[in-house]
Each structure stands twice: as C-alpha cells, then as structure tokens.
Chains A and B, each alone.
Chain A
Amino acid sequence: MESIIYAVLALGGLALLAGITLAIATRVFHVEGNPIADQVDALLPQTQCGQCGYPGCRPYADAVAGDEAEVNHCVPGGERTMLAIAELMGVEPKEVEEEATQPMVAFVREDECIGCTLCIKACPVDAIIGAPKHYHTVIADHCTGCNLCLEPCPVDCIDMLIKPELLEHWSWPLPNTQRAQQGRERRSQHEAA
C-alpha cells in the first residue's frame, strides 16, 4: 500500500514538474501568432506608391500572402525586399524588373501653389500639410517619394527632387579590393540565377 502511495506521489510530482516546465517554456518561447500578410507587410517599404499594381503596400502584402501575386513587384523595395519576401514565402527569388531610382522627395514651389488641397488628398502618408487657399508644404522627413501627388496638382507646382546626400547619412561602401568586389558580383549572380 505504502509503496503505491509513494509511486503515485513520485509520478504525480514528476508530472507536476514537467507541467510547470512546459508552462514556463510556452511563456518563454512564446511566438506571436503573426499572419503571413502582416509579416509580408512588415517587409515592404511602405512607400504606398502603387507601383506594384495594388493600391498600397498592405493590399500587395495581402495578395502575396494569398498567393495571388509574385514576390517581385515592389519597385522601391528593390532586390533586398524581394529576397526577404521570397525567403518568407519559401519561393524562388525572382528578378526585380524595374530598378529603383535614387531616393526622391517631393517639394512644393510655394509661390505657385494655389492651395487646392488636392495633393493632400492624394498623399498616402500624410506628408503634405496646408490649409485651403494657403500654400502647402511637404514634410520632407515623412515623404516617401511616391510621386502620387504630382498628378492631381492642377498647376504642376510639385517637383520631385533627389534627396540630398547628407554627411550624417553617409555609410561606408564595401572595400574596393578585388576580393570584396568579386564577392559582391558572385552574390548577385547567385541571387539572379
């Protein structure tokens, strides 16, 4: 009788211990359930430019997650984004057709602006401020350079300027040695293949 009690106690204790360990483990190694569309969306540059053929990044992410779109349509995202999405989706990388241009920023020629607010309505990221009948301004730090505000402007007073290269934003390129450059070439060949 006694031995049975001991056995039950020991087994129960062990089970309890294992249960606690498991419970802790689930806490510690908890992974947020992240729907794939969210994960794809997180990889996109959020330029909201529509160059992918969808009205914005989120719709494109939904399409990719639903296997309705290829992974290589995002132009501003370039190769890096394509590779990241391909890896996430577990599909073969595809070449990005259009090269992304230099980073641009919109600029309103303020003396020509008639304050029609049409560009404000067009901007997907609220980067333009201004009241009706007063000239508008682009918040350069918020502008994604998506060009969407150019078209609606009735007096064509918005220019796209190349983002100035600032010393603070400069970063070191790869060394100029043959080996480094070879590595870069081989990598791009590998990725293209």
Chain B
Amino acid sequence: MMIHISPPHQHGGDSIRATMLSVMIALLPATLCAVWLFGWLAVWQIMTCMGVCMLGEWVALRMMARPSRLSDGSAALTGLLLALTLPALVPWWMTVCGSLFAIILGKQLYGGLGYNPFNPALSARVILLISFPLAMTSWLLPAATMPAAVDLYDVTTTLTLFFGGVESLGLTLDGMTAATPLGYIKTDAMQGIAVAASLQAHDYSYFNAFVGNEGGSLGETSALALLIGGILMLARGTIRWHIPVTYIATVAVLAAIFHAVDADRFAPPLFHVLAGGLLLCAFFMATDPVSSPMTVQGHIVFGIGCGLLTWVIRTWGGYPEGAMFAVLLMNCTVPLIDQYCRPRVYGHR
C-alpha cells in the first residue's frame, strides 16, 4: 500500500526542543543572577527542581506506556521556571513536592505536553504558596546583605541550609529574611503609612530593584536579567511581543492613574513594574504557548487581563503579589478568548 504524504515537503526546521532550549537560554541571565544573589543555595534549588521534574516526567510517561519526551526539554524548562519562582530558603522536600506537582498535577494529568490548561510551574508554585504560606513568603536576604555568619557562597553551609533548614545553623528566620517591597508597602499601608514613607523606611532604591539586589524569589528580583532574557526571546521569535508589552503596560498605566489620584495609597508605576514577579510572569509565564491564547488578538486580550488582575490583586487582594494568580486566572479564560478572538478570515466580512 502506498503511504500518502501531503506537502509541504520542506520544513522550516523549528522544533519543540529548539523552542524550549531558546527559552532556557533566555532564562540564563536570570539564573546567573540568582546564583549571584543566593549563592549555592540557588544552585541546589534549581538542580533539584529540574532533576525531579525530569524524573517525574519519565516515570509518569513510563507508567502510561507513552514514549519518553525528556529530550524535548519541556520538563527541564518547567523545573527551571519553578525553581526561579521559589524563595531561596524553601526546604528540599517542598521543592521536590512542588516539582512533582508541576509535572504530575500540572501537566501529565491533563494529558501531557500541549494539553495543560495552566502553566505547570505556576500552578505548582501556587499550590505550594497555599499549602505552606510561611515558608513560601520567607524571603532570604541576598548574599551581599546577609549577616556575615552565613556564607551563601559556601557549599556546606548552603547544603545544611537546604536540607536542614535555618534551625540547623542555629539561626532564626528573622535574622536572615526580609520582606519584599510589595510585602512591606502592603503591611505598612494597613497601618496607614504612606507609600513614599514606607519605601523610605525600607531603604528602597530603584537601582537595587533593577539589578535585583532585594528580597524575593530566586529569579524574579532582577529586572535587568529578565529584560535581557525577554528581549532575547523576542529577537529570536520565540515569543511575540503582544503579551509582555500589553501586560506590563496595563499595570503601568493603572498604577500611573491611581498614583496620580492618590500618591499616598498607590505606589508609582515604575515601582510596580520592577517589583515582584511581574517581569518574570510577563516574559516567561504568560507567554507559555500551551496555556496562552493562539492569536494575536487573543494575546492582547490576555495581556491586558493579566495586567488588570495583577494590579487589582496587588492593590486590594490578600496577597502582596498578584502576578502569578493573575496569569493562572487568565489561563482559565484561554478557551473563551480563543473562541472569540479569531481573526477575520481572508475574503470574509
């Protein structure tokens, strides 16, 4: 019997692996920055996440008797992304649980690559946040501002920290952690302290926020590194500009309007853009192809929705940071967006 194969007989050469690799390369600056800020601890977190994710994927596919997909790098990327959203200090078993959540609950249960409605890394991160709120909001001080007793660039210290927790070094959390800017302006606001005063009290500087020298998750603090990665992906055509640009712009515009109305209660736009996980989410999470809309119009709607929700949650929500919730919530709306944001077909009215 003849096997029928349809044209085209020329392929552009793109592949899933190339796509994933290109995202990972784009994450390299943020990863290096995490290592610079949090030393070996970052390395352990990242390695654990990636390793467990890949292992989980392998086992899950094995159990379902499906061909292995490890070589396409999607599990490794999920691991890396998850690691970058974790606080440096989460204990190893939480990291492992999170990675397994990401791969098994977030991805394989839905049918594997291409079928997950939510970004696996983000959904795992949110499960962790809800399950272990304290650990997930204890932000380790970056190495530069760390008390001398703890050397994050020392292998054994970090290993003890990673596996044994803070107590094993005979320290308390208080001495080593600090709130994130979003966190302290929120708590201060509840005590009626104006934004500017709160920022001043915590020695906030835009420069530190830009290079990342402040508390936060491993990979989300440095706006500079994330921007480099984002621009890299845009230049290589891995992602399209619509989601990140509309996302960030929506947050900035909203912040600007409200800041202009009441500067004491609402933080300035630049603060919002540099703070928290916004840039990480805008460039790497919201643009995840599987869980974002298909068409350009869909992307714009999606980006605006993410921006809106992020700012609303940050301003009025219970958590200081809303970017991840916003992206996950918008993930739910993707089928709807896809349904309605279809471009006008050539020749049709």
For the residues of A in contact with B, the DSSP-based class is: loop
Q: Does B6 contact A (CB under 8 A)?
A: yes
Best-surrounded residue of B3, B4, B5, B6 (most CB of chain A within 10 A):
B4
CA separation between A154 and B233, bound complex, in Å? 80
**A176 CA to B6 CA, complexed, in Å:** 10
Enumerate chain A interface residues (CB-CB to B < 8 A).
Answer: 172-173, 175-176
- How distant is the Cα of A173 from the Cα of B5 in the complex, in angstroms? 9
Tier of interface size on chain B: under 10
Residues of B within 8 A of A176 (CB): 3-5
With the chains together, A85 CA to B221 CA distance in Å? 60
Which B residue's beta carbon lies closest to that of A178? B67
Nearest CB in chain B: distance from A171 CB, A: 10
5 A-B pairs in the complex with CB atoms less than 8 angstroms apart: A172-B4, A172-B6, A173-B4, A175-B6, A176-B4
Question: What are the interface flags for B1-30 relative to A under an 8 Å C-beta threshold, 1 for contact and 0 otherwise?
Answer: 001111000000000000000000000000
What are the residues of chain B within 8 A of A175 when measuring CB–CB?
5-6
Residues of B108-127 contacting chain A, CB below 8 A: none
> B252 to nearest A CB, angstroms?
42
Distance of A185 from chain B, by nearest CB (Å): 14
Going nearest first, the 3 A-B pairs with the smallest beta carbon separation are A176-B3, A173-B4, A172-B4
Q: How far is the CB of B186 from chain A (nearest CB, A)?
A: 48
What's the Cα separation between A175 and B7 when bound, in Å?
11
Closest beta carbon of chain B to A21's beta carbon, Å: 25
Question: Nearest-CB distance from B16 to chain A (Å)?
Answer: 13
Nearest B residue (CB) for A176: B3
Give the CA-CA distance A172 to B5 in the complex, in Å.
9
Question: How far does the alpha carbon of A175 sit from the alpha carbon of B6 in the complex, in Å?
Answer: 8
- The closest CB in chain B to the CB of A182 belongs to B66
CA distance A173 to B2 in the complex (A): 11
Known: A172-B4, A175-B6, A176-B3. 5 other contacts (CB 8 A): A172-B6, A173-B4, A175-B5, A176-B4, A176-B5
- CB B142 to nearest CB in A, in angstroms, measures 46
Cα separation A22 to B5 with both chains bound (whole Å) = 53
Q: How far is the CA of A173 from the CA of B6 in the complex (A)?
A: 10
Closest to B66 in A: A182
What residue of chain B has the Cβ atom nearest to residue A177's Cβ?
B5
CB distance from B64 to the nearest CB of A (A): 12
**B3 and chain A: residue at smallest CB distance:** A176
Q: How far, in Å, is A179 (CB) from chain B's closest CB?
A: 10
Residues from chain A with Cβ under 8 Å of B6 in the complex = 172, 175
Closest B residue to A173 by beta carbon equals B4
Residues of B contacting A172 with CB < 8 Å? 4, 6
Which residues of chain A come closer than 8 Å to B4, judged between CB atoms?
172-173, 176
